Amino acid sequence: MRFDIMTVFPDLVETVLGESIMGRAQKNGFIEVHAHNIRDYTTNKHRKTDDTPYGGGAGMLMTPQPIYDCFKAVEAQIPEENSRRVIYMSPRGRVLNHTIAEELSSYDNLILLCGHYEGVDQRILDLIVDEEISIGDYVLTGGEIPACILVDCVSRLKEGVLAAEECYENESIASGLLEYPQYTRPPVFMGLEVPEILLSGDHAKVDAWRLAEAKELTRKMRPDLYAAYMEAHPEPPPKPKRTRRKKEAVDEKEAVDEPS
Ligand SMILES: C[S@@+](CC[C@H](N)C(=O)[O-])C[C@H]1O[C@@H](n2cnc3c(N)ncnc32)[C@H](O)[C@@H]1O
Protein backbone atom coordinates (compact mmCIF):
# COMPACT_ATOMS: atom_id res chain seq x y z
CA MET A 1 0.00 0.00 0.00
CA ARG A 2 1.30 3.45 -0.88
CA PHE A 3 0.65 6.76 0.86
CA ASP A 4 1.44 10.10 -0.78
CA ILE A 5 1.33 13.06 1.58
CA MET A 6 1.10 16.57 0.16
CA THR A 7 2.36 19.12 2.67
CA VAL A 8 4.45 22.26 3.15
CA PHE A 9 6.30 20.45 5.96
CA PRO A 10 7.47 17.13 4.45
CA ASP A 11 10.25 16.68 7.05
CA LEU A 12 7.64 16.57 9.77
CA VAL A 13 5.80 13.55 8.36
CA GLU A 14 9.00 11.82 7.22
CA THR A 15 10.43 12.08 10.73
CA VAL A 16 7.32 10.77 12.45
CA LEU A 17 6.68 7.93 10.01
CA GLY A 18 10.36 7.04 9.56
CA GLU A 19 10.71 5.73 13.12
CA SER A 20 9.73 2.56 14.96
CA ILE A 21 7.15 0.18 13.44
CA MET A 22 6.18 2.54 10.59
CA GLY A 23 9.85 3.00 9.67
CA ARG A 24 10.43 -0.77 9.74
CA ALA A 25 7.30 -1.40 7.65
CA GLN A 26 8.68 0.95 5.00
CA LYS A 27 12.14 -0.60 5.06
CA ASN A 28 10.62 -4.07 4.71
CA GLY A 29 8.42 -2.96 1.83
CA PHE A 30 5.01 -3.51 3.48
CA ILE A 31 4.05 0.14 2.98
CA GLU A 32 5.43 3.06 0.98
CA VAL A 33 5.23 6.64 2.26
CA HIS A 34 6.14 9.57 0.02
CA ALA A 35 6.03 13.13 1.31
CA HIS A 36 5.72 15.83 -1.36
CA ASN A 37 6.60 19.42 -0.71
CA ILE A 38 3.78 21.56 -2.11
CA ARG A 39 6.20 24.53 -2.18
CA ASP A 40 8.25 22.78 -4.87
CA TYR A 41 5.31 23.24 -7.26
CA THR A 42 4.52 26.92 -6.77
CA THR A 43 4.89 29.20 -9.77
CA ASN A 44 4.99 32.24 -7.45
CA LYS A 45 8.33 34.02 -7.74
CA HIS A 46 8.59 34.26 -3.94
CA ARG A 47 7.71 30.55 -3.56
CA LYS A 48 4.56 31.54 -1.70
CA THR A 49 1.92 28.87 -1.14
CA ASP A 50 -0.65 30.98 0.74
CA ASP A 51 -2.56 34.23 0.45
CA THR A 52 -5.21 36.30 2.23
CA PRO A 53 -8.82 35.06 1.93
CA TYR A 54 -11.26 36.84 -0.39
CA GLY A 55 -14.00 38.55 1.59
CA GLY A 56 -11.60 39.26 4.45
CA GLY A 57 -11.07 37.40 7.68
CA ALA A 58 -8.16 36.31 9.79
CA GLY A 59 -5.18 34.29 8.64
CA MET A 60 -3.87 32.94 5.37
CA LEU A 61 -5.26 30.34 3.02
CA MET A 62 -3.28 27.86 0.92
CA THR A 63 -3.53 28.80 -2.75
CA PRO A 64 -4.84 26.21 -5.23
CA GLN A 65 -2.13 26.28 -7.92
CA PRO A 66 0.80 24.60 -6.09
CA ILE A 67 -1.50 21.97 -4.53
CA TYR A 68 -3.07 21.16 -7.89
CA ASP A 69 0.30 20.82 -9.65
CA CYS A 70 1.66 18.72 -6.78
CA PHE A 71 -1.39 16.46 -7.05
CA LYS A 72 -0.94 16.07 -10.81
CA ALA A 73 2.69 15.04 -10.26
CA VAL A 74 1.66 12.47 -7.64
CA GLU A 75 -1.18 11.18 -9.81
CA ALA A 76 1.24 10.61 -12.69
CA GLN A 77 3.16 8.14 -10.48
CA ILE A 78 0.12 5.98 -9.75
CA PRO A 79 -0.83 3.16 -12.13
CA GLU A 80 -4.27 3.79 -13.61
CA GLU A 81 -5.67 0.43 -12.50
CA ASN A 82 -4.85 1.13 -8.82
CA SER A 83 -7.69 1.90 -6.45
CA ARG A 84 -7.06 5.26 -4.80
CA ARG A 85 -8.66 7.84 -2.57
CA VAL A 86 -7.74 11.50 -2.14
CA ILE A 87 -8.29 12.73 1.40
CA TYR A 88 -8.07 16.22 2.86
CA MET A 89 -7.19 16.10 6.56
CA SER A 90 -9.72 18.50 8.01
CA PRO A 91 -11.66 19.16 11.23
CA ARG A 92 -14.81 19.28 9.07
CA GLY A 93 -14.47 15.67 7.94
CA ARG A 94 -15.76 12.24 8.97
CA VAL A 95 -14.18 11.45 12.31
CA LEU A 96 -11.59 8.69 11.92
CA ASN A 97 -12.27 5.40 13.68
CA HIS A 98 -11.38 1.71 13.31
CA THR A 99 -14.13 1.03 10.76
CA ILE A 100 -12.95 3.91 8.54
CA ALA A 101 -9.33 2.74 8.90
CA GLU A 102 -10.38 -0.75 7.75
CA GLU A 103 -12.28 0.74 4.82
CA LEU A 104 -9.25 2.84 3.79
CA SER A 105 -6.85 -0.09 4.14
CA SER A 106 -8.52 -1.69 1.10
CA TYR A 107 -7.15 0.99 -1.30
CA ASP A 108 -3.87 0.59 -3.17
CA ASN A 109 -3.11 4.29 -2.84
CA LEU A 110 -4.11 7.00 -0.40
CA ILE A 111 -3.22 10.58 -1.28
CA LEU A 112 -3.40 12.85 1.76
CA LEU A 113 -3.55 16.63 1.63
CA CYS A 114 -2.40 18.50 4.73
CA GLY A 115 -3.74 21.99 5.21
CA HIS A 116 -2.03 24.69 7.21
CA TYR A 117 -2.86 28.22 8.39
CA GLU A 118 -6.63 28.70 7.80
CA GLY A 119 -6.86 25.74 5.42
CA VAL A 120 -7.04 25.46 1.62
CA ASP A 121 -8.93 27.17 -1.19
CA GLN A 122 -12.32 25.45 -1.63
CA ARG A 123 -11.70 24.87 -5.34
CA ILE A 124 -8.95 22.38 -4.52
CA LEU A 125 -11.43 20.33 -2.54
CA ASP A 126 -13.92 20.52 -5.40
CA LEU A 127 -11.32 19.51 -7.97
CA ILE A 128 -9.25 16.73 -6.44
CA VAL A 129 -10.51 15.62 -3.03
CA ASP A 130 -12.80 12.59 -2.55
CA GLU A 131 -13.33 13.04 1.14
CA GLU A 132 -12.41 15.09 4.21
CA ILE A 133 -11.30 13.19 7.31
CA SER A 134 -10.92 14.56 10.82
CA ILE A 135 -9.00 12.96 13.68
CA GLY A 136 -11.31 14.44 16.30
CA ASP A 137 -13.41 17.39 17.34
CA TYR A 138 -10.63 19.85 18.00
CA VAL A 139 -8.50 22.04 15.71
CA LEU A 140 -4.77 21.60 15.16
CA THR A 141 -2.38 23.98 13.45
CA GLY A 142 -1.78 21.67 10.49
CA GLY A 143 -2.82 18.43 8.78
CA GLU A 144 0.58 16.73 9.16
CA ILE A 145 -0.05 15.11 12.54
CA PRO A 146 -3.55 13.97 11.45
CA ALA A 147 -2.03 12.50 8.26
CA CYS A 148 0.56 10.59 10.30
CA ILE A 149 -2.20 9.26 12.56
CA LEU A 150 -4.19 8.07 9.56
CA VAL A 151 -1.14 6.41 7.95
CA ASP A 152 -0.27 4.69 11.25
CA CYS A 153 -3.72 3.30 12.03
CA VAL A 154 -4.36 2.17 8.44
CA SER A 155 -0.89 0.64 8.01
CA ARG A 156 -1.05 -1.51 11.11
CA LEU A 157 -4.05 -3.29 9.57
CA LYS A 158 -1.92 -4.33 6.57
CA GLU A 159 -0.37 -7.77 6.58
CA GLY A 160 3.26 -7.82 7.64
CA VAL A 161 3.28 -4.43 9.38
CA LEU A 162 2.69 -5.96 12.82
CA ALA A 163 4.38 -9.14 14.00
CA ALA A 164 1.20 -11.23 14.12
CA GLU A 165 -2.43 -10.66 13.17
CA GLU A 166 -3.62 -11.09 16.72
CA CYS A 167 -1.62 -8.01 17.68
CA TYR A 168 -4.44 -5.80 16.53
CA GLU A 169 -7.38 -8.18 16.49
CA ASN A 170 -7.34 -8.57 20.28
CA GLU A 171 -6.70 -4.92 20.92
CA SER A 172 -9.02 -2.20 22.17
CA ILE A 173 -11.77 -1.22 19.70
CA ALA A 174 -10.88 -3.81 17.01
CA SER A 175 -12.10 -6.60 19.32
CA GLY A 176 -15.26 -4.62 20.10
CA LEU A 177 -14.11 -4.14 23.70
CA LEU A 178 -11.43 -2.09 25.44
CA GLU A 179 -8.35 -4.08 26.32
CA TYR A 180 -8.10 -5.83 29.69
CA PRO A 181 -5.34 -4.70 32.11
CA GLN A 182 -1.89 -6.03 31.19
CA TYR A 183 1.07 -6.72 33.49
CA THR A 184 4.72 -7.63 33.07
CA ARG A 185 7.68 -8.20 35.43
CA PRO A 186 8.20 -7.69 38.32
CA PRO A 187 5.35 -9.57 40.03
CA VAL A 188 5.23 -6.92 42.78
CA PHE A 189 5.87 -3.22 42.10
CA MET A 190 5.56 -0.52 44.77
CA GLY A 191 3.51 -2.96 46.77
CA LEU A 192 1.08 -3.67 43.92
CA GLU A 193 0.78 -7.32 42.92
CA VAL A 194 0.05 -8.85 39.54
CA PRO A 195 -3.34 -10.64 39.74
CA GLU A 196 -2.63 -14.21 40.84
CA ILE A 197 -4.59 -15.78 38.00
CA LEU A 198 -2.11 -14.42 35.44
CA LEU A 199 0.69 -16.37 37.13
CA SER A 200 -1.38 -19.58 37.33
CA GLY A 201 -0.45 -20.95 33.90
CA ASP A 202 -4.10 -21.93 33.37
CA HIS A 203 -4.79 -20.43 29.93
CA ALA A 204 -8.53 -21.04 29.98
CA LYS A 205 -8.86 -19.24 33.31
CA VAL A 206 -6.60 -16.40 32.12
CA ASP A 207 -8.75 -15.97 28.97
CA ALA A 208 -11.96 -15.95 31.02
CA TRP A 209 -10.47 -13.38 33.45
CA ARG A 210 -9.33 -11.15 30.60
CA LEU A 211 -12.72 -11.25 28.90
CA ALA A 212 -14.51 -10.42 32.15
CA GLU A 213 -12.09 -7.53 32.85
CA ALA A 214 -12.41 -6.20 29.29
CA LYS A 215 -16.22 -6.27 29.53
CA GLU A 216 -16.26 -4.54 32.91
CA LEU A 217 -13.79 -1.86 31.79
CA THR A 218 -15.75 -1.22 28.59
CA ARG A 219 -19.05 -1.06 30.49
CA LYS A 220 -17.58 1.60 32.80
CA MET A 221 -15.51 3.64 30.33
CA ARG A 222 -17.33 3.27 27.00
CA PRO A 223 -20.99 2.33 27.54
CA ASP A 224 -21.62 2.94 23.81
CA LEU A 225 -19.09 0.27 22.80
CA TYR A 226 -20.34 -2.06 25.53
CA ALA A 227 -23.95 -1.84 24.32
CA ALA A 228 -22.87 -2.63 20.74
CA TYR A 229 -20.71 -5.54 21.92
CA MET A 230 -23.49 -7.05 24.04
CA GLU A 231 -25.92 -6.78 21.16
CA ALA A 232 -23.49 -8.67 18.92
CA HIS A 233 -22.58 -11.20 21.66
CA PRO A 234 -25.79 -11.78 23.65
CA GLU A 235 -25.19 -13.75 26.81
CA PRO A 236 -27.07 -17.06 27.06
CA PRO A 237 -29.95 -16.93 29.58
CA PRO A 238 -29.08 -18.46 32.97
CA LYS A 239 -29.66 -22.23 33.12
CA PRO A 240 -32.92 -23.19 34.86
CA LYS A 241 -32.45 -24.82 38.29
CA ARG A 242 -33.84 -28.13 37.13
CA THR A 243 -33.66 -30.18 40.34
CA ARG A 244 -35.79 -27.69 42.32
CA ARG A 245 -38.35 -27.30 39.53
CA LYS A 246 -38.60 -31.08 39.18
CA LYS A 247 -39.16 -31.44 42.91
CA GLU A 248 -41.83 -28.73 42.88
CA ALA A 249 -43.54 -30.42 39.93
CA VAL A 250 -43.56 -33.77 41.74
CA ASP A 251 -44.96 -32.12 44.91
CA GLU A 252 -47.65 -30.38 42.87
CA LYS A 253 -48.56 -33.63 41.07
CA GLU A 254 -48.78 -35.50 44.36
CA ALA A 255 -51.02 -32.77 45.81
CA VAL A 256 -53.36 -33.05 42.81
CA ASP A 257 -53.38 -36.88 42.88
CA GLU A 258 -54.11 -37.04 46.61
CA PRO A 259 -57.73 -38.06 47.28
CA SER A 260 -59.64 -35.33 49.13
C1 LIG B 1 -6.02 25.68 11.78
S2 LIG B 1 -6.57 24.37 10.79
C3 LIG B 1 -7.78 25.14 9.77
C4 LIG B 1 -9.13 25.08 10.37
C5 LIG B 1 -10.20 25.68 9.47
N6 LIG B 1 -10.05 27.10 9.37
C7 LIG B 1 -11.56 25.36 10.04
O8 LIG B 1 -12.08 26.10 10.85
O9 LIG B 1 -12.10 24.26 9.70
C10 LIG B 1 -5.26 24.08 9.68
C11 LIG B 1 -5.21 22.69 9.10
O12 LIG B 1 -4.99 21.73 10.12
C13 LIG B 1 -5.58 20.51 9.75
N14 LIG B 1 -6.44 20.09 10.89
C15 LIG B 1 -6.73 20.83 11.98
N16 LIG B 1 -7.51 20.15 12.82
C17 LIG B 1 -7.71 18.93 12.28
C18 LIG B 1 -8.46 17.79 12.66
N19 LIG B 1 -9.14 17.74 13.80
N20 LIG B 1 -8.44 16.71 11.85
C21 LIG B 1 -7.75 16.73 10.70
N22 LIG B 1 -7.05 17.79 10.27
C23 LIG B 1 -7.03 18.89 11.03
C24 LIG B 1 -6.33 20.74 8.45
O25 LIG B 1 -5.56 20.22 7.39
C26 LIG B 1 -6.45 22.24 8.38
O27 LIG B 1 -6.47 22.71 7.06
- Alpha helices by DSSP H, listed for the chain, are 10-17, 20-27, 64-75, 98-104, 122-128, 144-155, 166-169, 203-221, 223-232, 242-257
pLDDT at 260 over 60: no
131-134 and 192-193: which strand pairing? unpaired
**Cα–Cα distance for residue pair 215/225, rounded to 1 Å:** 10
**Cα–Cα distance for residue pair 242/102, rounded to 1 Å:** 47
Instruction: Give the pLDDT mean for 94-118.
Output: 98
Angle between helices 10-17 and 144-155 (to 10 degrees): 30
Tell the burial category of 176 from Cβ atoms under 10 Å away from its Cβ (0-12, 13-18, 19+): middle
State the amino acid at position 178 in one-letter form.
L
Instruction: Give the pLDDT mean for 32-52.
Output: 98
For the domain made up of 175-260, give the CATH fold.
Answer: Trp Operon Repressor; Chain A (1.10.1270)
pLDDT at 107 over 60: yes
**197-206 pLDDT, tens per residue?**
999 999 999 9
**175-225 pLDDT, tens per residue?**
899 999 999 999 999 999 999 999 999 999 999 999 999 999 999 999 999
Please state the length of the chain. 260
pLDDT at 166 over 60: no
CA-closest candidate to residue 35, choices 130, 125, 144: 144
Residues touching ligand 1 (Cβ under 6 Å) are: 89-92, 114-116, 118-119, 134-136, 138-143, 146
Band (pLDDT 50/70/90 cuts) for residue 169 is confident
Atom from ligand 1 closest to the CA of residue 137? 19
pLDDT at 164 over 90: no
Pocket test for ligand 1, best of 118, 139, 151 (most atoms within 8 A of CB): 139
- Which has more pLDDT, 206 or 163? 206
Q: How far is the CA of 1 from the centre of ligand 1 (A)?
A: 25
Domain ranges in the chain are 2-155, 175-260
Band (pLDDT 50/70/90 cuts) for residue 259 is low
pTM above 0.85, yes or no: yes
Architecture of domain 2-155: 3-Layer(aba) Sandwich (3.40)
* pLDDT for the residue numbered 254: 67
Atom from ligand 1 closest to the CA of residue 138? 19
Band (pLDDT 50/70/90 cuts) for residue 1 is very high
Q: How far is the CA of 199 from the centre of ligand 1 (A)?
A: 47
109-114 and 2-7: which strand pairing? parallel
pLDDT at 77 over 60: yes
**Cα–Cα distance for residue pair 17/27, rounded to 1 Å:** 11
**221-258 pLDDT, tens per residue?**
999 999 999 999 998 888 887 665 666 666 666 666 66
Q: How far is the CA of 92 from the centre of ligand 1 (A)?
A: 8
* pLDDT for the residue numbered 147: 98
